[in-house]
Amino acid sequence: MMSSVRVECVVKESCLIGEGPVWEESEQTLLFVDIAGQKIHRWNSATNHIQSMETGHMVGFAVPRRSGGYVAAAGRSVVAVDWSTQTTKKLLEVDEEKPNNRLNDGKVDPIGRLLAGSMALEERPAVLERKQGALYSVTSDLTVTRHFNQVDISNGLDWSPDQKTFFYIDSLSLTVDAFDYDTHSGHMSNRRVVYRMEEGEGLPDGMTVDADGRLWVSCYNAGRVVHIDPETGVRLQSVSLPVMKTTSCCFGGPDYSDLFVTSASLGLDQSERRQQPLAGDQAPPPCQSAPPHCSFTQNLLDVFHVRPRPPVSQVTGLGGQRSSFQLICWIIVRRRDLDLSIIPHSPNQHTANLAGILTLINRLINIIHVIKPDEQRQETGRPRPQGRSTESLWDRLRRLAVTLHFS
């Protein structure tokens, strides 16, 4: 089915190889890279202003970092990017034995593990020494794991909404693959093909997943993005663009209803450049059939940590003490910004544990604005059930801290 949605060019920044779009929700900006142009770009949707930074190396991806700045792929290295000073700091290097390689596409998994793939340097677009690449993951302590090798062009990657399936593209295989994925360990297994590119669809390149768990795949050399159901292997929609070398895509905009698509101009001859004056610019076709999308792979990405929105039921839930308690538990389990190593190991483990718990509770009190049940009931006008304690959760936390302190 061909799409009739409107396509427009919104970022007029001609790129040799525009790639890796990421929507930064907090700033309402689109982050993307120019691989061959060796630049990272930020487009502000409110001001239509573009900021750019040169990296000095071919840059495969850039993702936002909680502490500020970004982490990016520069050549074979993963680097920390300080946007304010326009500088980079090397964190690690892969494929040390293959100096002719570079990192390509990369994203962060649901718990903050960075996944990135490599490939050989191209002689010309999509022409290179084959089977030289690999797929890697990097944890917060910079531990690198190679999941598999014999990769041609490591490209699109993303996860299903339930986080149990990892989708992956090795472009020259002309397939979109899926793996069973364990978010706790990062282990992937049971590789299988969920979609084979059809004639005229070009090479599968970057991709994203929508809120329904369906894939949007950019088709390099085919000038389109295809919408795929990975459960059935059926193409649901095809969105044509006025450029042939579409490279990647992500959802963004205030309600995540726009699909931003990057493109490339490298490899076009003079005739093709005249026919495709927007090649290398970035366009969003408003995908009317796509539900609003807020995937962990698009907004508020941290390099080694992730900050997903909590489920609505845990914030608005049943109200009162239970709602506040659920919110605290979510912050402890999901935010990963509390240093749980404050509970030390010592010969007197019981005392040490109490001291650690006390410190943790005090931190919670300091960083969480807990809604007092009494105040909430006063605002809502609901009567207090007979026999229930009048002590608020706030007061209980403080009393528990004092009790532990003097135990």
Catalytic residues: 205
Is residue 41 within 8 Å of residue 13, measured between CB atoms? yes
CB 282 within 8 A of CB 29: no
- What is the rounded distance in angstroms from the CA atom of residue 202 to the CA atom of residue 168? 17
DSSP 286: B
Alpha-carbon gap, residue 153 to 223, rounded angstroms: 19
Query: Across the strands, what pairs with 267?
Result: none
**Cα-atom radius of gyration of the chain, to the nearest Å?**
24
**How many C-beta atoms lie closer than 10 Å to residue 347's C-beta?**
6
Tokens read off for 62? 């850039």
- How far is it, in rounded angstroms, from Cα 10 to Cα 40? 17
315-335 burial, b at 16+ Cβ within 10 Å, e below that, comes to: eebeebbebbebbbeebeebe
Cβ atoms within 10 Å of 364's Cβ, excluding its own: 16
3-state SS, residue 230: coil
Structure tokens at 234: 């059926």
Q: Kindly give the residue spans of alpha helices, DSSP state H, lying in 217-348.
A: 270-275, 312-315, 320-330
Q: Classify 153 in phi/psi space as left (phi over 0), alpha (psi -120 to 50) or beta.
A: beta
Note whether 263 and 18 are within 8 A (CB): yes
Phi then psi for residue 379, to 5 deg, are -70, -40
- Spatial strand order in the sheet of 101-108: 101-108, 114-120, 133-138, 144-151
Cβ atoms within 10 Å, residue 162: 10
